[in-house]
Structure 1
Amino acid sequence: MMEKFSSQVLNPERLKALEIWLQETGIKLNQVNGQRKYGGPPDDWCGAAPGMGCEVFISQIPRDIFEDRLIPLFRAVGPLWEFRLMMNFSGQNRGFAYAKYGSPALAAAAIRTLNGHALEPGARLSVRRSTEKRQICLVGLPANTGEEQLLQVLQELSEGAEAVSLNSEPGGGSASAVVMYASHHVASMAKKVLVEAFKKRFGLSVTVKWLSSAKLLHGEPPRPPKAPSSPLKPHRRAYLDAVQPSPEPPLAPQPPPPFSRAVGGASSVAGPAAPVSPGAPFRLPPVDEVTLLQGVCEVYGRGEPLYHLQYLCTGADGFLYFSYQVYVPGLATPFTGTVQTLPGPNPVAVEREAQKATAQQVLGALYRA
């Protein structure tokens, strides 16, 4: 019992060392929402904000080790855009932290260099790539919720909401939504405030949770690309029919009703494209996979697919590996999988090639349905 109690007592020598380090370096730490943050960005940062794949997750940190030991260690790999140490009310850390660099290459270097690093005897750090979740699920919305109106409300109630995909719940009495945010941080902040905000503003009791996704285990080599997991078969068959000859034209979709009278009226939705003639042979148009997938979605009035690509690693073969989630408005489940592409002349070109590979896999899944 005494050993357990003593483990909760702060080490005064290490607290003093942290205080001296802060005074000598002039570094400022801000504590908010159970975490103590450096940077985001620091005052001397030059360049744009980091994109996806630039953050590492650090665990197995001794509870009385603080930023004076951790920040210099991780900054030795490269400049830090941000460092967040999770804290509890006692003043101890919670055993894990996040470090964000300016590029995925520096994040990969931190993993290679510092995973297994011994801070002290018997204490080795675990360093792996952060999942950086950016999608949350809203459950318990009115059945007549419209996507545009919901997105407008979310942008008023929280920061960084970028896109919404609505789904009808079984029974048709309510709806749910997948919301994509600009970063993990703003998604976390939204997750904390939306329940109370919806109750206060609309009298709605909604549930907010992270969108579940498959995790890549640390140390596991990237799997070869495989067919993506797919949504419900009736939806997949509808998309397949859209790109094959069909004797019956599809029905025009109905415009969604408004989310709330306080937000505005219903938004109009364009009707489907003209059906393919039953007697004409099927030929793919001379467009790339991304454009083709978008066209397939537009045929049924589904809207533009939403791509979420996350850099995983660079393989020994030189390929860049990405995981993806593709959200199609109106489908309950996103397409998920893994793709690989060769390095390109710039990040925009690499992202475009990864999108093409992703769209090709999704189209392949639709044809196999």
Structure 2
Amino acid sequence: MESPIAANYKARAGAVNLENKILLLQWMENCNIHLVQVNGQRKYGGPPAGWIGKIPPLGTEIYIGNIPQEIYEDKLIPLFQSVGKLYEFRLMMTFSGLNRGFAYARYTTVQDAELAISRLHGYEIQPGRRIGVHRSIEKCHLELDGLPFYLDKVILTTVLGAVTPDLEKVSLFASPNMDMRNLAVLKYNSHQAATMAKRVLCEGTLSLFGCAIKVEWLKNVMKKKLYCKNLQKPHFSISQMFTNGDPAPSGVHCLYLICEQLNLGQPVYKIKFLSLGSHGWLRFSYQVTIPGYSDQFTGYAWLIGDKLIPTDKYEQAKEIVALKILAKLGYIDD
């Protein structure tokens, strides 16, 4: 007797490989298997039900190629579970509901991954059709080239972390390919996270902060430069923001323009004057919040203020604080 799930699917599914799709759904129902489809792939586990502990280490993922397009997880997962416990299985899918001919399986141990490669590489999954099973090249690093010079690492981490989960580290350097542009190296906690991030950035963020950004896997030549520390410090130049020949603006105005460029919201200054020292020096505390920036800026500073009216004291204190923030962010020398 046909299950309710299979009957419902049959009523609304297209004709492409319908029989095997229904068998897949029956297997899922019988084995209580849950699959999630997102971003062109269908995933089991990651982690599986009842898993306690960390994600398995590098070396536990394998790549499976030459899969017939009409074969699904009801055939693949039991086959790869036969050699060891699966932490995750990901089958790449087309819009029509066929698989794209390859998948990734992550085991809980490196030993099981190696066993799967030795036992299942060349396995005849259909008459005359043998799958290839290899160690996955688990790339975890992306490079973004062409970033505007006025972006700092904290802002970039905040923005990218919001749209690409599992971002572990951002490193920022001067672009070796473009004048007054920067290059970022992004490290993710897994190959899957890096793959999804690359897809999101390529498909959704072709233009970042008004600049065309090139998103690629970290190339070997760049890896060597990183290892040998041959990359230059990132470009930071306030003067590049002003091209009309006017005199350089104040620190307060520079910070205002940078926040405007990055859509961060404008700085909110809280300044409290504390005590008057010798020779007219006036001590004050400050607290500055920029709405779209993750850190708050606090501290103490001095100005010569014994002969200033309150309004001038406040404006001078703001200027000193703005210059301190610009220096902390790397836009000017401290």
Normalising by structure 1, what TM-score?
Answer: 0.56
Tell me which residue corresponds to 2:210. Answer: 203
Tell me the amino acid that sits aligned with residue 186 of structure 2: V
Q: How far 1:150 moved relative to its partner?
A: 2.3
CA distance in 1, matches of 2:88, 2:227: 43
Q: Is the 8 A contact 1:101 1:107 kept in 2?
A: yes
User: Do structure 1's residue 183 and structure 2's residue 190 form an aligned pair?
Assistant: yes
Tell me the amino acid that sits aligned with residue 143 of structure 2: C
* Deviation digits for residues 262-314 of structure 1 (CA, Å, limit 9, x no counterpart): 337456499xxxxxxxxxxxxxxxxxxxxxxxxxxxxxxxxxxxxxxxxxxxx
Q: Percent identity?
A: 41
Change (3 A) 1:196 1:129: closer
Q: How far 1:17 moved relative to its partner?
A: 2.2
Query: What secondary structure, in the 3-state scheme, does the structure 1 residue paired with 2:171 have?
Result: strand
Aligned length: 235
- Greater share of strand residues, 1 or 2? 2
Highest RCO, 1 vs 2 (Cα 8 Å, sep ≥ 6) = 1
Q: How far 1:122 moved relative to its partner?
A: 0.8
Tell me which residue corresponds to 1:231. Answer: 225
Change (3 A) 1:35 1:168: same
Tell me which residue corresponds to 2:111. Answer: 105
Tell me the amino acid that sits aligned with residue 231 of structure 1: K
Give 5+ residue unaligned stretches, structure 1. 1-8, 215-228, 239-252, 271-369
CA distance in 2, matches of 1:115, 1:95: 15
Q: Is the 8 A contact 2:64 2:102 kept in 1?
A: yes
User: Do structure 1's residue 66 and structure 2's residue 72 form an aligned pair?
Assistant: yes
Q: Is the 8 A contact 1:148 1:267 kept in 2?
A: no
Change (3 A) 1:118 1:195: closer
CA distance in 1, matches of 2:146, 2:158: 18
Change (3 A) 1:63 1:122: same
Change (3 A) 1:189 1:269: same
Tell me which residue corresponds to 1:122. Answer: 128
Normalising by structure 2, what TM-score?
Answer: 0.61
2:63 aligned to 57, 62, 82, which one? Answer: 57
The 5-angstrom pairing of residues 346-365 of structure 1 reads none
CA distance in 2, matches of 1:67, 1:266: 54
Change (3 A) 1:82 1:257: farther
CA distance in 2, matches of 1:52, 1:18: 30
CA distance in 2, matches of 1:62, 1:83: 17
1:133 aligned to 111, 132, 139, which one? Answer: 139
CA RMSD of aligned residues (A): 3.5
Change (3 A) 1:133 1:267: farther
CA distance in 2, matches of 1:47, 1:232: 32
Change (3 A) 1:20 1:201: same
Q: Which moved more, 1:180-189 or 1:34-43?
A: 180-189
CA distance in 2, matches of 1:199, 1:61: 32
